[in-house]
Structure 1
Amino acid sequence: MKKVNSLGARIFQYFMQGVLLLAPVFITGWFIYSVFQWLDNLIPLKFKLQGKENIYLPGLGVVIILIVITVAGYVSSFFLISKLLSFFDHLLEKTPGVKIIYGFVKDFSEAFGGKKRKFTKPVLVSIYQDDVYQVGFITNEDLKEFDLLEHVSVYIPNSYAVAGNLFLVKRARVKALDHVSPTDAMKFAISGGVADVE
């Protein structure tokens, strides 16, 4: 009976090892495939050849989207176009209703990858207890508009989620992580502390 239990335990152990080995690969593949499909379906192109049904070319929609984005980035570097885009940007920021959505999306995208990148200063911050820390990012060091001269704003991402919380804390409760890259700090925080920090 013990041998049967031992064999069952070993099979279960091998099964769990297989799950741990294959899950990251399949989940990553599924995510990339889903994003690819979503982008590709934004421009569903079908061609009709002589005497044949419509032919769908997978990936062509993604290629067109990438080309359009790249050309838009290139064209926006011209002086006249940049002035026109700046005017359009100003118009959207002043339009009632639209300005809330546009401003949020613009600020969020620029915080991650634009000229105003915000998640570049990883820190350890003590919020609830003096000797307990959370990984976060300083997003603003000047909080005069809130009458908080000794405070900084720290964004703390939630583990296994894209959401997070913003705290306004005293500088004394924040420790800079100069030796840790922002990418590693974000990975560490989002993974719940299981990702390796190089």
Structure 2
Amino acid sequence: MTETSPRLSFATRLRNNFLAGLVICAPIAITIWLTWTFIRWADSWVKPYIPARYNPESYLNFAVPGFGLLIALIVITIIGFLGKNLIGRSIVDFGESIMDRMPLVRGLYRSLKQIFETVLKDQGTPFNKAALIEYPSAGLWSLVFIATDAKGEVASKFDAMGRDMVACFMPPTPVPTAGFLVFVEREKIVPLDMSPEDAAKLVISVGLVTPPEGPPIPRRSRRAAAAPVVEQERTGG
């Protein structure tokens, strides 16, 4: 005697079809909305500074979305190109010297410049490794992103205590735009094979979106795996 699956009611099938459609449509709609919002935001900043004779909207009867963003990308690229030669570098240095004379602005400018240089330059490798640490108490584990080795005064204090510490960023769930900076002993970091993107999905989805399991990491190699890729900075590479 064969068992037959229970027949679903019309309301149940309708609900399942709605949820299936929501899974398909929601990511597409949110992606389009975020992209469109960013384009409009960039246009609202750039278009007012474009002369009317160079703005195609002055000759057309409709708006050209993304034109301001395109102009911004071109201008930023040109500035980057000019900033690499001697004359451009001199102008940039002169501008930075003016910023350094402004008491309230110089601290903010230096911090932002250091952040962008670390994130955008080729030699910078921020948050390129996901890991687990035992936090906030024993037996409870939190997902973190490995940033870099402890440096400066923080490193000297830890070195005096004989501790090899690593700076990690611990994002909150489900919005990982803010978080905590924690310093963890290298030996207590459990590195993960998943990519930072998969780890971010895990945090944002509150654990619902789990990446596929990677190969196990031998215990003896965990120390090497937990070391940030910025190790080449020590050797000047």
What's the TM-score once normalised by structure 1's chain length? Answer: 0.78
- Match status 1:141 vs 2:144: no
Give, in whole Å, the separation in 1 of the partners of 2:145 and 2:46.
Answer: 37
Identity of aligned residues (%): 27
State the partner residue of 1:109.
Answer: 116
- Match status 1:155 vs 2:169: yes
State the partner residue of 2:228.
Answer: none
State the partner residue of 2:188.
Answer: 173
Secondary structure of the structure 2 residue equivalent to 1:27 = helix
State the partner residue of 2:25.
Answer: 22
Q: Which amino acid aligns with 2:203?
A: A
CA contact (8 A) 1:125 1:175 kept: yes
| Greater Cα offset, 150-159 or 130-139 | 130-139
- The CA deviation string for residues 135-166 of structure 1, in whole angstroms up to 9 with x for no partner, is 22232323561322323221112233211111
| Greater Cα offset, 35-44 or 93-102 | 93-102
Instruction: Give every structure 1 segment of 4 or more consecutive aligned residues whose post-TM-superposition deviation is greater than 6 Å.
Output: none
Q: Which amino acid aligns with 2:187?
A: A
CA contact (8 A) 1:119 1:137 kept: yes
Give, in whole Å, the separation in 2 of the partners of 1:26 and 1:47.
Answer: 27
What's the TM-score once normalised by structure 2's chain length? Answer: 0.67
Give, in whole Å, the separation in 2 of the partners of 1:137 and 1:58.
Answer: 36
Give, in whole Å, the separation in 1 of the partners of 2:198 and 2:86.
Answer: 37
Secondary structure of the structure 2 residue equivalent to 1:84 = helix
State the 1:118 CA deviation: 2.4
Distance 1:183 1:47, change over 3 A: closer
CA contact (8 A) 2:118 2:126 kept: yes
Distance 1:74 1:133, change over 3 A: same
CA contact (8 A) 1:143 1:152 kept: no
| Greater Cα offset, 121-130 or 29-38 | 121-130
Q: Which ranges of structure 2 fall in alignment gaps of 5 or more residues?
A: 1-7, 48-54, 215-237
Q: Which amino acid aligns with 2:80?
A: G
| Mapping for residues 1-198 of structure 1, pairs under 5 Å | 6-44=9-47, 45=55, 47-49=57-59, 56-89=63-96, 91-93=98-100, 95-114=102-121, 115-143=123-151, 145-146=153-154, 147-149=157-159, 150=163, 151-161=165-175, 162-177=177-192, 179-193=193-207, 194=209, 196=211
Distance 1:18 1:77, change over 3 A: same
- Higher relative CO (Cα under 8 Å, sequence separation at least 6) belongs to 2
State the 1:173 CA deviation: 1.9
Q: Which amino acid aligns with 1:172?
A: E
State the 1:17 CA deviation: 1.7
CA contact (8 A) 1:48 1:55 kept: no
State the 1:121 CA deviation: 3.6
Richer in strand (by share): 1
RMSD, aligned CA: 2.8
State the 1:27 CA deviation: 0.3
